[in-house]
């Protein structure tokens, strides 16, 4: 019966392999993907002419570069791009293996295999992004509908006609592919929405959204900077203080959202695969254990070997339960890291906007421009890889901790050895407590006997000034020998803590795991710093608002049609208005006081300023001049006030 079941399973797998495969469709999709990109490139005109345009004038500057998405400044269609990344997630995970290549290559060409696979996957999914970002909305929507619909049909057909797999067993493809199918369905609905909106714009039933340099959230952010902070603000809730505080004036770019979505989908898939493979592995270990037990009983081995079998069974049982339990904690830890990176991205960018660079090591305060731009391209891929590999490493660390707790606390209690366990635990706690207590004792002795009294009763601490110097020298001498012995244990603890914290934070790309001074050796942290600096220089709301004002002023001065869409800013008064001239004059004289003496209508005041050596007279004259500039109608009728001249005092 068992043999028949195995044959039926093999037959089922063979039937599934004979159907439509998503991997095969991935290779075949290169042809329509190239055609779609060619159509969009034909519609896109180049900004600058090339020599080929003179040879082939009928092209008219067509076949421009098709941009899949703006990873720096664009904030439109963020969630659409995010779901496009979600549709890519299954193929991105496929890149970690070499199964997508239909032929075999030698081992030395493995790097080329990954490069070819990455280029193929990028080209196949290029139409999803290009159809979202193209300015030809109707054509892009139609092509996007056809392309996404074909992918939905093939993926759903392959998933539900052959749901089983070799790794996860029944319904493997349904469990793994449902995020990808959901993302494709969302993209299909988005393309339909773009198509309907494009048709309505063509029929003049709806106006096209203006293309602006600045978003409303950036405008509100700058307005908040210019407003006076309220004297009494509402207290934050517990969730805002401890977990996350929502900022309506900040938006994450599509690069960050897409990276987070792929990381979450990848964590979901890896957690399912980890749970299933661990069950299979422990099942195989159980079969080996039963075989070993039968072999020992049949060969009449020694009692020592027979006594090892129960310990081996106990270890396998503890390891199985520990691994499966820590799978949940490691997965939750990685998901928490993914959201925490988003919070750190916002926090670090807002600090840079305020000019605060203290959280960055000094050597990273001025990163190279090339490094910052390259970090934009590296970040997404590295963050996904760090998240997935970090899950495995953190899972292993959790597993070791669970084994330690099980053998130190749980198993002794199960075996009735509570007294021995408490004795050993008490010795460990007492030793650590004595070490910590002696360290605290040294600090207390210094605080009480070897520091001078407070200068002021309101001071928080005593000054850093020694008292009882002779006693302190004796204290320092005798504790020298003990600190040598204690330094050995602290050195080991320092190494263990560094290893533990480093492995725990290995997936945190926003925080370095290297010591101070060696941060540049952490390539992931260098990528993070370069990326946030690039985003800071390109998306600073104050800088973007300033550029928007410049564009708006140029529009009003030259009435250029190319800037006709920038109509979100209020109109300025005429350039040559009386108020503007008066303000410019006031500002010029304020910054250059010596020019006041050259004004014709204030010759009398200038003569008084030259004859007077009193600083009080100088101040009064300047105040009267400034007042005459701001309110000439009221001050013109008044004469310059008399100021008593105080003779200079000789030193």
Count of alpha carbons within 13 Å of 471, Cβ hemisphere only? 9
- List all residues 6 or more positions away from 306 whose beta carbon is below 8 Å from its beta carbon: 296
Q: How far is CA 314 from the centre of its chain?
A: 43
Of the chain, the percentage scoring pLDDT greater than 70 comes to 76
DSSP element (H, E) containing 294: helix 254-299
Yes or no: say if 137 and 48 are a contact pair by the CB < 8 Å rule. Answer: no
Torsion sign across C-alpha atoms 88, 94, 99, 101: positive
Distance between CA 536 and CA 378 in Å, rounded?
Answer: 17
Residue 291 burial (C-beta neighbours within 10 Å; 0-12, 13-18, 19+)? exposed
Distance between CA 524 and CA 509 in Å, rounded?
Answer: 5
Neighbours of 544 (CB within 10 A): 20
Checking 152-160 for CB contacts under 8 A at 24+ apart, the result is: 152/181, 152/184, 152/185, 152/188, 154/20, 154/22, 154/25, 155/22, 155/180, 155/181, 155/184, 156/181, 157/19, 157/20, 158/19, 158/20, 158/21, 158/22, 158/25
Mean pLDDT highest for which of 74-83, 457-466, 590-599? 457-466
The pLDDT assigned to 71 comes to: 73
Q: Which residues pair with 466 in a beta bridge?
A: 451
Q: How far is CA 636 from the centre of its chain?
A: 62
The pLDDT assigned to 35 comes to: 92
Yes or no: say if 530 and 204 are a contact pair by the CB < 8 Å rule. Answer: no
Q: Average the pLDDT over 622-638 and give the result.
A: 49
pLDDT band at 50 (very low <50, low <70, confident <90, very high): confident
**Is the model more confident about 22 or about 266?**
266
Give tens-digit pLDDT for 209-218. 666 666 777 7
Residue 255 burial (C-beta neighbours within 10 Å; 0-12, 13-18, 19+)? buried
Backbone angles phi, psi at 46, to 5 degrees: -80, 150
Angle at 488 between CA 482 and CA 494, to 5 degrees: 125
The pLDDT assigned to 547 comes to: 81
For the chain, report the end-to-end CA distance as a whole number of angstroms. Answer: 118
Yes or no: say if 40 and 139 are a contact pair by the CB < 8 Å rule. Answer: yes
Give tens-digit pLDDT for 537-563. 888 888 888 888 887 776 666 554 433
Q: Supply 48's token pair.
A: 């600058």
Secondary structure of residue 235 in the 3-state scheme: coil
Residue 260 burial (C-beta neighbours within 10 Å; 0-12, 13-18, 19+)? buried
**Is the model more confident about 626 or about 430?**
430
pLDDT band at 53 (very low <50, low <70, confident <90, very high): low
């Amino acid at each position: 019966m068992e043999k028949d079941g195995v044959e039926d399973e093999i037959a089922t797998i063979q039937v599934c392999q004979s159907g439509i495969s998503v991997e095969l469709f991935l290779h075949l999709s290169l042809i329509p993907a190239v055609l779609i990109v060619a159509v969009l490139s034909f519609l896109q005109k180049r900004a600058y002419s090339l020599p080929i345009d003179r040879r082939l004038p009928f092209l008219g500057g067509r076949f421009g570069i098709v941009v899949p998405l703006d990873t720096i400044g664009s904030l439109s269609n963020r969630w659409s791009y995010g779901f496009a990344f979600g549709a890519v997630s299954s193929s991105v995970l496929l890149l970690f293996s070499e199964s997508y290549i239909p032929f075999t290559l030698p081992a030395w060409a493995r790097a080329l295999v990954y490069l070819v696979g990455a280029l193929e996957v990028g080209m196949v999914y290029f139409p999803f992004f290009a159809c979202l970002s193209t300015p030809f909305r109707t054509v892009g929507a139609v092509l996007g509908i056809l392309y996404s619909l074909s992918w939905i049909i093939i993926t759903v057909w392959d998933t539900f006609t052959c749901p089983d797999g070799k790794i996860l067993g029944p319904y493997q493809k349904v469990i793994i592919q449902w995020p990808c199918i959901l993302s494709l369905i969302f993209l299909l609905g988005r393309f339909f929405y773009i198509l309907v909106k494009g048709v309505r714009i063509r029929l003049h039933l709806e106006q096209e959204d203006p293309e602006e340099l600045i978003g409303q959230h950036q405008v509100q952010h700058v307005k908040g900077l210019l407003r006076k902070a309220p004297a009494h603000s509402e207290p934050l809730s517990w969730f805002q203080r401890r977990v996350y505080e929502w900022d309506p004036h900040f938006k994450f770019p599509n690069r960050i959202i897409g990276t987070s979505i792929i990381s979450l989908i990848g964590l979901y898939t890896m957690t399912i695969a980890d749970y299933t493979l661990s069950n299979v592995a422990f099942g195989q270990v159980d079969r080996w254990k039963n075989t070993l037990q039968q072999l020992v009983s049949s060969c009449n081995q020694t009692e020592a070997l027979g006594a090892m079998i129960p310990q081996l069974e106990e270890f396998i049982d503890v390891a199985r339960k520990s691994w499966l339990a820590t799978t949940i904690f490691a997965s939750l830890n990685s998901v928490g890291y993914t959201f925490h990176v988003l919070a750190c991205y916002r926090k670090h960018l807002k600090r840079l906007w305020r000019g605060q660079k203290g959280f960055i090591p000094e050597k990273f305060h001025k990163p190279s421009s090339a490094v910052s731009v390259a970090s934009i391209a590296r970040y997404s891929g590295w963050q996904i890889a760090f998240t997935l590999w970090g899950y495995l490493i953190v899972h292993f660390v959790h597993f070791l901790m669970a084994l330690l707790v099980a053998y130190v606390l749980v198993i002794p209690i199960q075996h009735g050895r509570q007294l021995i366990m408490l004795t050993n635990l008490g010795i460990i706690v007492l030793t650590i407590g004595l070490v910590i207590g002696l360290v605290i004792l040294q600090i207390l002795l210094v605080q009480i006997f070897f520091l001078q009294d407070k200068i002021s009763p309101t001071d928080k601490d005593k000054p850093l000034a020694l008292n009882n110097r002779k006693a302190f020298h004796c204290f320092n001498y005798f504790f020298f020998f003990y600190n040598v012995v204690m330094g050995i244990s602290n050195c080991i603890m320092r190494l263990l803590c560094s290893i533990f914290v480093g492995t725990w934070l290995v997936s945190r790309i926003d925080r370095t795991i290297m010591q101070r001074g060696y941060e540049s050796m952490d390539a992931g942290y260098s990528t993070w710093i370069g990326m946030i600096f690039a985003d800071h220089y390109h998306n600073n709301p104050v800088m973007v608002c300033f550029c928007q004002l410049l564009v708006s002023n140029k529009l009003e001065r030259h009435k250029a049609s190319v800037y006709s869409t920038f109509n979100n800013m209020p109109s300025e008064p005429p350039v040559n208005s009386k108020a503007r001239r008066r303000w410019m004059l006031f500002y010029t004289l304020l910054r250059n006081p010596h020019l006041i003496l050259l004004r014709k209508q204030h010759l009398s005041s200038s003569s008084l300023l030259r004859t007077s050596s009193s600083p009080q007279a100088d101040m009064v004259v300047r105040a009267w001049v400034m007042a005459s500039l701001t309110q000439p109608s009221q001050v013109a009728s008044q004469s310059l006030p008399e100021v008593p001249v105080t003779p200079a005092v000789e030193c």
